[in-house]
Chain A
């Protein structure tokens, strides 16, 4: 029982110094090179997104991967659409929703819980932070108002997406994120959420004979309602 504790701070510091020392030795120098805190984001090649309607491109690519989508005129009208959609596809109504969506005119018999999803949660509604036209996927930020379990636990996932939040490239999301989180007196990184999640349709696996099957662990059906304000 006298084995040293691997989490002991002195031992940990020694291990750290050894690894960094070995890296430096093999790079042929003694100390880390001086460099500015964070240089401007580097500019790397992007994938050309033709100058077409971004919403249309986004939907085409989203649907090519097994997701579904619909356009509605306003955020509030998404409710009506979802009632009809659930009825038409014989889906259980959502039981969980992101907090900012609770203000929408939901039917009285759809009591929506903003808390985390549980093992029996069948269906949830979320609000996307952005859509990316490059590949046709969505970005989400976790937080007190948007439980991350809503994205992965339910069988059915409904998502509201503001048409104005559809951007061309991933780089545009990063720029939006820095603006969204930054304040005049604080670095954007002080307000990072625990997770940034990109979702590109229903969960899938090809692990049995490379046959693509939807609904491996996450949602089997993902339906996006795009609104404009």
Chain B
């Protein structure tokens, strides 16, 4: 997928002025937050589950090599193959070679964020393969030639009318007006494609070392038709997805659906272990798992390791006021919102994705809702520190900070400037608010600045001391 993180500011500005997007985002945020809250209220053990999941994931990550080797051995034992890819290019080459070897012409895809990360669709299409996204949201953005804007609801930025127009353009016939009509239309279109697909590619929510299983959860059943009707099933997964046992997968699944969609489980949870058995009447003849590193092993070593706990539920972005205002496309790459503000700079470069962590308000909601307790606000701050160390902050900001530091090191000067500033600001206030301020339009256009009382905290403190 093309990296457009440098366009964060213009894309965010554009998003803020797109009425369709604003309508869609407002609706989505209400839905996601309310449904999750309701699901969690029913489970008094939720906090205990978060604790256990976070600790367990750390344990697994500290023995990641061991569990990956065990996983590989079990996949072989059930008749499948594991392929290791150091980076995106190798992962694409492996999948492409598997498709070629199978003589494939049509590839059906279930939802997989890793496949977006490695730019798989573009590579397959460039090789002349027909690639069909089968998750309804992914199918919609594929028709629109757009990337997904949310990791679990890829078309969350589209209104019903926009979907209807897209379908009419691609399927023919008059635009449909209701959601049931649209879903039925997509079902019938995709049904025909499932039955003539050669290769089915899915992601994996988890890999299980004990059984060699890849686990996917879906509500639509698309991932299951994808893998059951194709001749070859290819799984693309990050190396951090492995867990030791079935019981471990259960622990994380109890958190995943509740955090993502507010369901107690998704409609379908499927454990796939190898190709069809000798007497099986259906299922794929080949089973391949492509394990993608692409920078993950490096993350194990530094302060970023907790980020590898992520189970891709999307709760952080659903609760992020910045994501809620600008949507996923503004972030310019695969992973949006708070998790993306940490992951994207680590994947594509601290400079290339400079704006992402700096757009964060550090309100802390993402960290509070994360089911595996990733300290997202701390990590976002850590990315900013790393950017500062690399001298990436803009010159104007660096000069301003240097100036501030010089003042702050001289208390008398600092307090003098402060006294001046609060008196000046107080004169601008009406009823305690500053509604408009020269040079700060970007801020005051959208909200009021609270006006100070006219005296600094220290002045008030000393006055209070005298009174008592």
Contacts and interface: CB of A to CB of B under 8 A. Distances in A.
Secondary structure dominating the interface of A: loop
Contacts of B68: 20, 23
Contact of B225 (A5, A153, A201): A153
Interface stretch (A42-50, A71-79, A83-91): A42-50
Contacts of A1: none
A84 B235 CA distance: 43
Interface stretch (A33-41, A51-59, A102-110, A160-168): A33-41
Contacts, number: 268
A81 interface: no
B247 interface: yes
A193 interface: yes
Contacts of B153: 206-207, 210
A194 B284 CA distance: 9
Contact of B220 (A6, A116, A203, A209): A203
B84 interface: yes
Chain B interface residue bracket vs A: 35 or more
Interface stretch (B10-18, B85-93, B338-346, B360-368): B85-93
B90 A6 contact: yes
Contacts of A143: 277, 279-280
B269 interface: yes
Contacts of B93: 6
A48 B52 CA distance: 16
Nearest to B82: A16
A140 B280 CA distance: 14
Nearest to A99: B281
Interface string A188-222: 01101111111111111111111101011111000
A227 interface: no
A22 B298 contact: yes
Given A12-B84, A198-B270, A216-B183, A7 B45 contact: no
A149 B84 contact: no
Residue among B156, B267, B270, B297 with the highest chain A CB neighbour number at 10 A: B267
Contacts of A215: 183-184, 187
Most chain A CB within a 10 A radius of its CB, from B65, B70, B160, B251: B65
B332 interface: no
Contact of B293 (A12, A22, A43): A22
B239 interface: yes
A205 B281 contact: no
A201 B239 contact: no
A137 B65 CA distance: 34
Interface string B150-182: 000111101110010000000000000001101
20 contacts: A15-B83, A20-B69, A26-B300, A27-B64, A32-B63, A33-B63, A143-B277, A174-B247, A190-B77, A192-B274, A194-B272, A194-B274, A194-B275, A204-B219, A208-B136, A208-B140, A208-B163, A209-B24, A210-B32, A216-B222
In the complex, the 3 A-B pairs of residues with the closest C-beta atoms, listed nearest first: A218-B221, A26-B301, A216-B220
Interface of A: 5-7, 12, 15-16, 18-20, 22-28, 32-33, 35, 38-39, 41-48, 61, 65, 114-119, 134-135, 137, 142-144, 147-149, 151-153, 170-171, 174, 177, 189-190, 192-211, 213, 215-219
